[in-house]
């Protein structure tokens, strides 16, 4: 039995908003509000398999600094509409992101993007394609190259089955996403199966750094991140064309960051220095 996303949205009791896209899809925005009204917000882009709720600890902590925090569930993820684990095209992904930014900028004059893992890629795509002003980028758990041996290569037969299925039924998720230490296995709103066309959208090798990023950037990585090494993360930051960037290492942290006060301290300090 599939997930009844519409029913789950109707039953949701915490603050949220909905974005109606230009092709008729509803995107879910979870909200963590400040104690007093604020014109500053941070938009969370989640990692692959995940959705906005797992970032609640981060969001609650940051909302106390005067920023409203908003978490977008990508199409086909969490409480957003769409085929689970699928995106029809890169153009549609860009449109969803740009339309979400336009929606939020009507409410918040200052808007930062927070990207974790896959969310780092979507943050860069958003920054490049949105005509709205983006005031800062907070990036976690990403690097230029993946650590060797993290993902098992599919057999020739598996590759053939994936290719054939994707030709005749491109919207059918056929690729199992798995690695050691993966989180969310007990949460039905996590995705662990994706379409080939979705997976082709999420390569860090395709990042476009041809234009200057005219906002401050902070990038952090866990000391024990299973996917990206500290050196790989530093290499990614080195390539980001910004004159205002900072790097930090989260002591003891893995890829699925448990947001300790130590992590909050680095980000809070950066926010205070740049946006107070």
d(CA 48, CA 52): 11
Neighbours of 239 (CB within 10 A): 10
Terminal-residue alpha carbon distance, the chain: 48
pLDDT tens per residue, range 157-166 = 989 999 999 9
For the entire predicted model, the pTM comes to 0.95
Q: Which residue ranges make up each domain of the chain?
A: 5-275
Residues 6+ apart with CB under 8 A from 186: none
Q: What is the pLDDT of residue 217?
A: 98
Q: What is the pLDDT of residue 74?
A: 98
Compute φ and ψ for 72, nearest 5 degrees.
-90, 130
Q: Going by CATH, does the domain composed of 5-275 fall within 3.40.50.1820?
A: yes
∠ CA 76-138-175, rounded to 5°: 30
pLDDT tens per residue, range 44-53 = 999 999 999 9
d(CA 204, CA 202): 6
Confidence of residue 11 (pLDDT cuts 50, 70, 90): very high
Q: What is the pLDDT of residue 1?
A: 53
Query: What residues are paired with 20 via a beta bridge?
Result: 26
Is there a contact between 177 and 193 (Cβ–Cβ < 8 Å)?
Answer: yes
d(CA 48, CA 85): 9
Rounded to 10 degrees, what is the CA torsion of 166, 170, 173, 178? 50
Residue 84: is its pLDDT beyond 60?
A: yes
């Amino acid at each position: 039995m599939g997930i009844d996303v519409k029913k789950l949205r109707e039953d949701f009791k915490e603050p949220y908003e909905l974005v109606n896209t230009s092709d008729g899809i509803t995107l879910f925005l979870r909200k963590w509000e400040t104690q007093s009204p604020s014109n500053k917000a941070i938009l969370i882009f989640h990692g692959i398999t995940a959705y906005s709720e797992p970032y609640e600890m981060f969001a609650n902590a940051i909302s106390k600094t005067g920023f409203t925090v908003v978490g977008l569930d990508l199409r086909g993820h969490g409480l957003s509409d769409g085929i689970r684990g699928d995106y029809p095209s890169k153009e549609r992904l860009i449109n969803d992101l740009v339309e979400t930014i336009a929606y939020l900028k009507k409410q918040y004059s200052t808007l930062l993007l927070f990207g974790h893992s896959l969310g780092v890629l979507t943050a860069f795509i958003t920054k490049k394609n949105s005509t709205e002003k983006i005031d800062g980028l907070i990036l976690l758990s990403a690097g230029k190259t993946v650590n060797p041996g993290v993902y098992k290569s599919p057999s020739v037969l598996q590759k053939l089955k994936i290719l054939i299925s994707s030709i005749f039924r491109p919207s059918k998720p056929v690729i199992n996403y798995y690695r050691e230490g993966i989180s969310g296995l007990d949460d039905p709103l996590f995705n662990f199966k994706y379409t080939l066309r979705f997976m082709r959208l999420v390569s860090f090798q395709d990042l476009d750094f041809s234009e200057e990023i005219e906002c401050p950037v902070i990038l952090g990585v866990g000391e024990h991140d299973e996917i990206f090494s500290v050196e790989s993360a530093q290499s990614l930051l080195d390539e980001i064309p910004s004159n205002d960037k900072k790097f930090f290492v989260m002591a003891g942290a893995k890829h699925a960051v448990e947001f300790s006060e130590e992590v909050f301290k680095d980000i809070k300090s950066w926010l205070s220095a740049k946006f107070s």
